[in-house]
Chains A and B, each alone.
Chain A
Amino acid sequence: MVIALAEVSKSFGAVRALREVSLTLTAGRAHALLGENGAGKSTLIKVLAGVHRPDSGQLLLDGAPARFASPADAKAAGVAVIYQEPTLFGDLSVAENVAMGRHPTRRGGMIDVAAMREQAEELFARLGVDIDPRRPARGLSIADQQLVEIAKALGSDARVIIMDEPTAALSGTEVRRLFGVVGALREHGAAVLFVSHRIDEVFELCQEATVLRDGGFVWSGPLHEQTPDSVVRLMVGRDLDALFPKQEVAAGETVLSVRRLTREGVFTDVSFDVKAGEILALAGLVGAGRSEIARAVFGVDKPDGGQVLVRGKRIRAGSPGAAMSAGIGFVPEDRRQQGLVLDASIERNAALASLNRLSRLGFVRSRDERSLARDWAVKLQLKFAHLTDPVAVLSGGNQQKVVLAKWLSRRPAVLIVDEPTRGIDVGTKAEVHRLLSELAAQGVAILMISSELPEVLGMADRVLVVREGRTVAELARAEADEERIVLAATGVAVA
């Protein structure tokens, strides 16, 4: 045993992210951490990385209780983490990104620039990739950023290597190389924790696994006791239909049309239609460009080419105001940063997109503001103490309802929702799904982005798969299944 967690719990406000989870990593073995999005995998990783301190339970290092006060402590103990979202320094060179925190130095403490570059070159050679160590990290493609992250972790001579979805953005050959390197590390006695949604990869690479569901511990043991099917059952563990109360709606006329929308280097030639009453899902890997497409449709980012039409009328590019006037609403991916003013009250937030309608001579009538907020709080079954409370005190699910209220009060013709249930507990998730389904039934055209395949499959009438900024497949509800979507999204065959 190298590192272990014993009955560790961690809560964020009202959300219990981890409940008495145990995990043991052994030298020379690769351990898979499995679970759906929101199961607590990232929180667990951050506990091992020293980012979060557990509320209860113990961290054991070589069998002895230990405490990581910071990521620096975890690093010193030999834990290296490859995060799902790259954490690079854009201003610095690639070589320096790889070396940061442990630059090679000459006598006297001066950084040995040549050695630093050689180190990076050597690591890239091991990974079989061709990235110039001298170029700045800014502007690297997602796949290249991920490879730099991997080189960073490999270079630190860690005893414990944690990989959070390292293959999500990589091509087939790069994945093969990475697996070769992981195998070599294991032989040298490193313990590996591997997180991936690609079950075939897990069975290929790992000897043991731990399954989490909704923050709780489900199963742990040698992988040869399981089959891919049985593992997926452990991960899901509930009836999918109950969670996605999708109503059958006859689609109406086309409301939103996107024509050859292009933003150079981000996405290319994206075209699709969304009809009234229809839910169109954009599926794909993190970094494929889905959120960027949504942002361009709503006018947050200005596209380089193409157009967006609502009911046949072209809307001005790069203007959220024009998009709103045309009847588009946008629930962004990051509700805390982009969807809400956290310190402002529930009623202020709910009314934020309707201020034009609520004001007279430029003054916002606070009585109308309040009645608007109260109406929607009742309709959306918002759980709150006072409408004047800051939004920050609400749970994630209720915060999302406030964002929805903000847009729904404008009676949008098109609603774009980006990861509508990220970080929301299961109960509220089902409510958000019911809401979206009802909206569609009322004739709203919905464009949904989701990284959770069950959500995509449960909610969408049609699925559009995006890979590396291009739409690569369109699947009707009847023909969409997990395998087809993953196949199209990765370009890699699943077993």
Chain B
Amino acid sequence: MSGTQDLALPERRRRAGGGMTAVRELGILIALAVVVGVTALVNPLFLSGQGIRDLLLNACLVALLTVGQTMVVITRNVDLSVGSVLGFSAFLTGDTFSVDPALAIVVGIGVGALCGLLNGALVAAGKVPSLVVTLGTLYVIRGLDYAWAQGRQINAANLPDGFLALGSAGVLGVPYLVIITVIVLAVAALHLSSYRSGRELYAIGSNPEAAVLVGIPVGRRVFTAFLVSGAVAGLAGVLWAARYGTVDATAGTGLELQVVSAVVVGGVAIFGGSGTVVGAALGALLLTTIGSALEVLHITAFWQQAITGALLLAAIALDRAVALRQAAALRRQSRGVSA
């Protein structure tokens, strides 16, 4: 048993919550540097001020959604409804703007929270698997969106400039959208790493039965994770309307899969228990950057999807390989010493 001392993980890695998250974040940053470097060599415009701005703005909406998704996935669940929630929220925001701008923002976030509440209640109280629940609400909410829109489209002309500025203007050159995303990210990261209710989400995903036995209110925590995911998707909807100005009932279609991909690439274990929001956001940034880079390099959109998929598989293969090696090493060591 004395040999367990040797197994201590470096401080940096332990604090991150899972074993290997910091390593993962470093890996993503390297991948990011490679993609940006190669693309900039071919087309220097990629690194212009405007280029970087566009990149960040595009990444922000996905990154924002990964924050809520990460909290849900950590508890061994998944929220597939985020794309629909974003779409519905964006449309309602656009519609209520003529009534009252502040109200519009509240309505957007509120509708998202309401959707999250529905998901959370069905999963936590109804004990229905989240994959099924949120697949259902994905279609239901998109349906509501279509019914509400009735073929209409909201144009930038319908929205006041002050609101649109949310999506483009900023402080000292940093767009508001980026600032909002970073704030949400920071709050969530702090909560997950340093507050009881945050750590309990990891415990739930790591071993649900044991979580019940140590007295964690599992149902309430899972419910809250879905509520947050919904509210964040609502906020992302508001920002979507501000960023693009044009909203129809198809806004955000298919976004949920991008978000789940980003979360997994970012090192959040799909079976819960480990991963960070920062890793997930970096995953979103990497995927978006690859998308933009391929455009700049004039590679067709078909390849973009194939590359996203390949990256996802590579990330999972890496996780699996590392986990197996770790398990084997730990097994060998704890037995080898005590026997």
Residues of chain A touching chain B, judged by Cβ–Cβ distance below 8 Å, are: 49, 51, 70-72, 74-76, 81, 83, 87-93, 96, 100-101, 103, 105, 109-111, 113, 129-132, 134-136, 138-141, 143-144, 152, 264-266, 268, 468-470
Residues of chain B touching chain A, judged by Cβ–Cβ distance below 8 Å, are: 1-2, 4-5, 7-9, 11, 14-15, 17-19, 194-196, 199-200, 202-203, 205-207, 209-217, 269, 273-274, 326-336, 338-339
In the complex, the answer to whether B213 meets A135 with C-beta atoms within 8 Å is no
- Return chain B residues, CB-CB under 8 Å to A75: 214-215
A141 nearest in chain B by CB position: B334
Residue from B15, B196, B202, B334 within 8 A of A144 (CB atoms): B334
In the complex, the answer to whether A110 meets B194 with C-beta atoms within 8 Å is yes
In the complex, the answer to whether A92 meets B202 with C-beta atoms within 8 Å is yes
Residue from B2, B11, B326 within 8 A of A139 (CB atoms): B326
- Return chain B residues, CB-CB under 8 Å to A105: 196
In the complex, the answer to whether A88 meets B210 with C-beta atoms within 8 Å is yes
Given A91-B206, A136-B19, output 11 extra A-B contacts at Cβ < 8 Å.
Answer: A74-B215, A89-B202, A89-B203, A91-B273, A92-B273, A93-B14, A101-B215, A101-B216, A139-B333, A265-B335, A266-B331
CB B214 to nearest CB in A, in angstroms, measures: 4
- Return chain A residues, CB-CB under 8 Å to B14: 93, 134
In the complex, the answer to whether A135 meets B9 with C-beta atoms within 8 Å is yes
In the complex, the answer to whether B4 meets A468 with C-beta atoms within 8 Å is no
B209 nearest in chain A by CB position: A87
- Return chain B residues, CB-CB under 8 Å to A136: 9, 19
- Return chain B residues, CB-CB under 8 Å to A138: 326-327, 330
In the complex, the answer to whether B338 meets A143 with C-beta atoms within 8 Å is yes
List 22 A–B pairs whose Cβ atoms lie within 8 Å, in order of A's numbering: A70-B212, A71-B212, A71-B213, A76-B215, A88-B210, A92-B17, A96-B199, A110-B194, A110-B195, A134-B9, A136-B9, A139-B7, A139-B334, A141-B1, A144-B4, A144-B334, A144-B338, A264-B331, A265-B334, A265-B335, A468-B339, A469-B339
Taken together as a complex, chains A and B put the C-alpha atoms of A103 and B339 apart, in Å, by 34
- Known pairs A88-B210, A103-B196, A135-B9; A143 contacts B216 (CB<8 A): no
Taken together as a complex, chains A and B put the C-alpha atoms of A83 and B209 apart, in Å, by 12
- Return chain A residues, CB-CB under 8 Å to B326: 138-139
In the complex, the answer to whether B4 meets A130 with C-beta atoms within 8 Å is yes
CB B279 to nearest CB in A, in angstroms, measures: 14
- Return chain A residues, CB-CB under 8 Å to B18: 91
In the complex, the answer to whether B217 meets A139 with C-beta atoms within 8 Å is no
Residue from B214, B274, B334, B338 within 8 A of A100 (CB atoms): B214
In the complex, the answer to whether A101 meets B214 with C-beta atoms within 8 Å is yes
In the complex, the answer to whether A141 meets B202 with C-beta atoms within 8 Å is no
Residue of A140, A152, A469 with highest tally of chain B CB at under 10 A: A140
- Return chain B residues, CB-CB under 8 Å to A72: 215-217
Taken together as a complex, chains A and B put the C-alpha atoms of A268 and B196 apart, in Å, by 41
A75 nearest in chain B by CB position: B215
Residue from A49, A90, A103, A266 within 8 A of B213 (CB atoms): A49
- Return chain A residues, CB-CB under 8 Å to B334: 139-141, 144, 265
CB A137 to nearest CB in B, in angstroms, measures: 9
Residue from A93, A101, A111, A134 within 8 A of B194 (CB atoms): A111
- Return chain A residues, CB-CB under 8 Å to B199: 92, 96, 100, 103, 111
- Known pairs A72-B216, A109-B195; A87 contacts B8 (CB<8 A): no
- Return chain A residues, CB-CB under 8 Å to B1: 129-131, 141, 143-144
Taken together as a complex, chains A and B put the C-alpha atoms of A264 and B196 apart, in Å, by 37
Leading 4 A-B pairs by shortest Cβ distance: A139-B330, A265-B331, A87-B210, A72-B215
Residue from B194, B207, B332 within 8 A of A264 (CB atoms): B332
Taken together as a complex, chains A and B put the C-alpha atoms of A109 and B18 apart, in Å, by 22
B217 nearest in chain A by CB position: A72
- Known pairs A71-B215, A75-B215, A89-B203; A111 contacts B196 (CB<8 A): yes
- Return chain B residues, CB-CB under 8 Å to A96: 199
- Return chain A residues, CB-CB under 8 Å to B203: 89, 92, 100
